[in-house]
Amino acid sequence: MLQSTEVLREKPMRIVTPTVQVRAREPSVSQEEAPPCIVASHLSAFFGDAAAVKDVSISIPQNAVTAIIGPSGCGKSTLLRCFNRMHETVPGTRVEGSVEILGSSIYGDGTSPIAVRRHVGMVFQRPTPFPTMSIRANVAAGLRVDSKSHATRGATSEIVEEALQRAGLWAEVKDQLDESAMALSGGQQQRLCIARALATRPRVILLDEPTASLDPLSTQKVEELVYDLRQTVTVVIVTHNMQQAARVSDGTAFLLMGELVEFASTRELFTAPKDPRTESYITGRFG
Amino acid sequence: MTSLPVDWLEKDRRKLRVDASAFSDKVYEALTAACALVVPALVIAIALSIFAAAWPAFAKLGLSIITTSNWDVSGGHFGAAPALFGTLVSSTVALIIATPLAIGVAIFLSEFSPSWLRQPVGFLVDLLAAIPSVVYGLWGIFVLIPLLRQHVMPFLRDTLHLGATPFFSGPAYGPSMLAAGVILAIMALPYISAVSREVLMAVPRSQREAALALGATRWEMIRDAVIPYARSGIIGGIMLGLGRALGETMAVTMVIGNRLEISASLLSPGYTMASLIANEFSEATNDLHLSALMAVGAILFIITLIVNAVARWLVWSVARRRAQ
């Protein structure tokens, strides 16, 4: 971990450098477990003086789906928002501790939150398409923001198609790319937002209760999509729906009152929880 | 399990029947309906009486009221084209000056300002709308016009060499279309700014977060997510400011120079429809003259009505999208 920090100090603005990528894939970590993607140590997040996340240390594996579950107000969304530095966009908030993503400290000195967010995508509880933009422009919105890396228009339309393919939306919208994004259904809008987040080719994608406002059929589509995404990207999903966590995730973290109670493989956590509080929660005794 | 009495509503029903509430409801309904009818009726009555009074002039002079420039009371010629031109030009100049300023203030207050500064600055901007127009006129005559004549006009015409274009040529007397435009800009600014600020602050946090999560900087977020979302509301605010500028009378009459002539130069004096009416109504002795002034008023009324209707519709369309 110390060595990785050294790498960051040389190039503090870039999170995903080829060297870091290679380092992360080196079989220095044991072969059975996937190498860690997000490593949080002693992470605390505050709203004013109130701590929403308390001293959480967790190591989230790469190219896997990790679910964060817990009752309402347990800090699971806040924890997620610490992984792309969105937490600090709310006035009066503060973060303590450290988070490393693929070996780079995202809270390190001189690290820009904007650079972090360009590599760590996020999708919110409610679909947030930009209402005045077409479907195409919505998917490309993150590219336009990052205009230096994708110069030509042809490249943009390829990226738009690829992102929509990955989000499982291409077949449904390929003939109406220039129509308003508001013409889509809620579930399609949410998959559009996932496509928008994927278009910048992030290393990590954070999903904050992405199906909370969707009907069961749209929920199923998003879940299938999340399940497939693990091939290419690290996914962290916050959900209050335990069945969802069980269906889509490889590992599950249980959060209670801002504290990480237990983090294990999803099978283990749901069948043989080690902590009695986890057991009470998953058997429905509270929450 | 206890069962309800057979007719469990009976008691209430009896009570309501003897109660006066049903009757008083009817009284309130009738009263409020009367109020709601009086106001639209008033608007329609005013419009109808203006058009009725203007009708003789329209019948006799036709479109020459707005297409000709000869306003000769004793000769019976009433061509108000310079006044229509002056109204449109002074308002356009006002919008060109006021719009960037007002939107700049609104963006600063809604996006960048620390919260302790937001209230006082917003209040001061809103206060511009509270200053009586005759006070603006007085300030215009004794402060703005000397400033324009001695510094701004020579600077524009000579230093920037804009005098080579027809828009800034000729002598700088002071009272001018430019002076009217500047005064109107100050007067329209609070309207544009207040509406823009409201619609910018109404852009949901989810839209801002969506842009930030894509790695947008503060400015990119404002440009790509906030302003497009608020765009039609901001345009509505500009139209409201335009409505204000078109109808403004006192301050403009005091600084525009009141000359019935169409001149391309903003340094030349001009006239507006509102000023024309204000200056001549007391001397309108013959019927055609009075009717011609009414006709000018009717045209101004139609223009401001359309501008305001479009403005309200645009602001409303933003509010409606927000509600969805």
Alpha carbon distance B121, B187 (integer Å): 16
Of A118, A124, A132, the CB nearest to B210: A124
Residue A188, burial from CB neighbour count under 10 angstroms (0-12, 13-18, 19+): buried
Tell me if B4 is assigned to some domain: no
φ, ψ (nearest 5 deg) of residue B56: -55, -40
Same domain, yes or no: B284 and B310: yes
Lowest mean pLDDT among A31-45, A243-257, A263-277: A31-45
**Closest to B80 (Cα-Cα) out of B319, B315, B280:** B280
* Torsion angle of C-alpha atoms A186, A189, A190, A195, degrees rounded to 10: 160
Query: How much is the pLDDT for B75?
Result: 86
From the CA of A5, how many Å to the nearest CA of chain B? 23
In sequence order, the β-bridge partners of residue A46 are: A51, A94
Residue at B232 is within a domain? yes
Contact A115 B209 (CB under 8 A): no
Q: Within 10 Å of residue A177's Cβ, how many Cβ atoms? A: 17
Model confidence at B313, pLDDT cuts 50, 70, 90, reads confident
Whether the predicted pLDDT of B23 surpasses 90: no
pLDDT, averaged across chain B? 89
| Whole-angstrom distance, CA of residue B36 vs CA of residue B24 | 18
- Rounded Cα distance between B200 and A6, Å, is 43
* Angle separating helix axes B177-201 and B115-127, nearest 10 degrees: 140
pTM: 0.78
Counting one residue from chain A and one from chain B, the pairs whose CB atoms sit within 8 A come to 61
For residue A239, the SS3 value is: coil
- Nearest by CB to residue B209, choosing from A124, A146, A197, is A124
Domain ranges of chain A: 2-282
Hey, what are B28's tokens?
């309130």
**Per-residue pLDDT tens digits for A83-95:** 999 999 998 999 9
Which residues of chain A lie closer than 8 angstroms to B231, CB-CB? Answer: 132
Residue A142: what pLDDT?
87
pLDDT of residue A199 exceeding 50: yes
- A46-90 pLDDT tens trace: 999 999 999 999 999 999 999 999 998 899 999 999 999 999 999
Mean pLDDT of B27-32: 91
Chain centroid offset of residue B295 CA? 21
Contact B206 A128 (CB under 8 A): yes
Residue A54 and residue A176 in contact, taking contact as beta carbons nearer than 8 Å: no
pLDDT of residue B3 exceeding 70, the answer is no
Nearest chain A residue (CA) to B115 = A91
Q: What does the block give as tokens for A52?
A: 């929403």
Structure tokens at B4: 């309800």
Q: What is the pLDDT of residue A193?
A: 95
B157 shares a domain with B23: no
- Asked if B111 reaches chain A (Cβ–Cβ under 8 Å), the answer is no
User: Which string of b and e fits B191-204 if b means at least 16 CB within 10 Å?
Assistant: bbbbbbbbbbeebe
**How far is the C-alpha of B314 from the C-alpha of B323, rounded, in Å?**
15
Please tell me whether residues B159 and B174 are part of one structural domain. Answer: yes
Q: What is the pLDDT of residue A157?
A: 85
pLDDT in the model for residue A244 = 92
- The vertex-B192 CA angle with B188 and A181, nearest 5°, equals 155
pLDDT reading at B41 higher than 80: yes
What gap in Å lies between CA B3 and CA B79, rounded to an integer?
Answer: 85
Residue-level pLDDT at B83: 94
User: Higher model confidence: residue B112 or residue B317?
Assistant: B112
Distance between CA atoms of residues B324 and B307, nearest Å: 26
In B, minimum Cα distance to A145 occurs at B216
Residues 213-232 of B with CB under 8 A from A: 213-217, 220, 224-225, 228-229, 231
B171 pLDDT tier (thresholds 50, 70, 90): confident
Domain presence at residue B119? yes
Please tell me what DSSP assigns to residue A134: B
Nearest CA in chain A to B206: A128
B237 shares its domain with B299: yes
Token output for B238: 């500009």
Average pLDDT rounded to a whole number, residues A206-215: 92
Report the C-alpha gap between A186 and A164 in whole angstroms: 16
Q: Is residue B107 part of a domain?
A: yes
Q: Which residue of B has its CA nearest to A207?
A: B213
Does B215 contact A141 at a Cβ distance shorter than 8 Å?
Answer: no
Question: What is the predicted pLDDT for the residue at A107?
Answer: 92
| Interface predicted TM-score (ipTM) of this complex, two decimals | 0.82
- In the block, residue with structure tokens 């045209």: B299
B113 and B261 in a single domain? The answer is yes
Separation in Å, CA A58 to CA A37, A41, A42, A68, A253: 10, 7, 9, 11, 9
Contact call for B224 and A122, based on CB within 8 A: no
pLDDT at B89: 95
Indicate whether B51 and B197 sit together in one domain: no
Residues B169 and B44 in one domain: no
Chain B CB contacts of A84 under 8 Å are 213
Mean pLDDT, residues A109-122: 90
User: How far apart are alpha carbons A211 and A239 in whole angstroms?
Assistant: 8
Is the CB of A86 less than 8 angstroms away from the CB of B229? Answer: no
Same domain, B116 and B263: yes
Question: 3-state SS of chain B: helix, strand, coil percent to 5?
Answer: 80, 0, 20
pLDDT (tens digit per residue) in B183-230:
999 999 999 999 999 999 999 999 999 999 999 999 999 998 999 999
Task: Please indicate whether residue A206 or residue A6 has the higher confidence score (pLDDT).
Answer: A206
CA distance A27 to chain B (A): 31
Nearest to A252 by CA among A32, A9, A66: A66
Same domain, B50 and B17: yes
Q: How far apart, in whole angstroms, are the C-alpha atoms of residue B120 and residue B126?
A: 10
Model confidence at A40, pLDDT cuts 50, 70, 90, reads very high
Alpha carbon B131 to its chain centroid, in Å, reads 15
Number of domains comprising chain B? 2
Structure tokens that stand for B235 in this block: 């345009």
B236 to B108, B191, B232, B280, B285: CA distances (angstroms): 19, 10, 6, 33, 41
Name the residue facing B224 among A84, A141, A200 (closest C-beta).
A141
Please tell me whether residues B188 and B236 are part of one structural domain.
yes
B51 and B149 co-located in one domain: no
- Opening angle at CA B178, ends B172 and B181, nearest 5: 165
Same domain, residue pair B55 and B102: no
Q: What pLDDT does residue A69 have?
A: 94
Q: What is the dihedral of CA A128, A132, A133, A134, to 10 degrees?
A: 100
| Spatial CB neighbours of A70, under 8 Å, sequence gap ≥ 6 | A76, A240, A254, A255, A256, A281, A287
CATH number at residue B155: 1.10.3720.10
Residue A24 has pLDDT above 50, yes or no: no
Q: What mean pLDDT value characterizes chain A? A: 83
Strand A65-69 with A93-101, pairing: unpaired
Q: For residue B1, is it within any domain?
A: no
Domain that holds residue B132: 64-323
Residue B5 lies in a domain: no
B163-172 residues labelled b (16+ CB within 10 A) or e (exposed): beeebbbbeb
Query: B318: pLDDT confidence band, cut at 50, 70 and 90?
Result: low
> Which whole number is the average pLDDT over A205-210?
94
Q: Please compute the mean of the pLDDT values over residues A12-32 and round it to a whole number.
A: 36
Closest CA–CA distance from residue A81 to any residue of chain B (Å): 10
Find the chain A residues whose C-beta atoms sit closer than 8 A to any C-beta of B: 84, 86, 89, 114-115, 117-119, 121-122, 124, 126, 128, 130-133, 141-142, 144-146, 193, 196-197, 200
Residue B93 pLDDT exceeds 60: yes
DSSP code for B47? H
Cβ–Cβ below 8 Å for A117 and B217: no
For residue B126, what are the contacts with CB-CB under 8 A and spacing of at least 6? B190, B194
Please give the CATH topology (third level) of the domain spanning A2-282.
Rossmann fold (3.40.50)
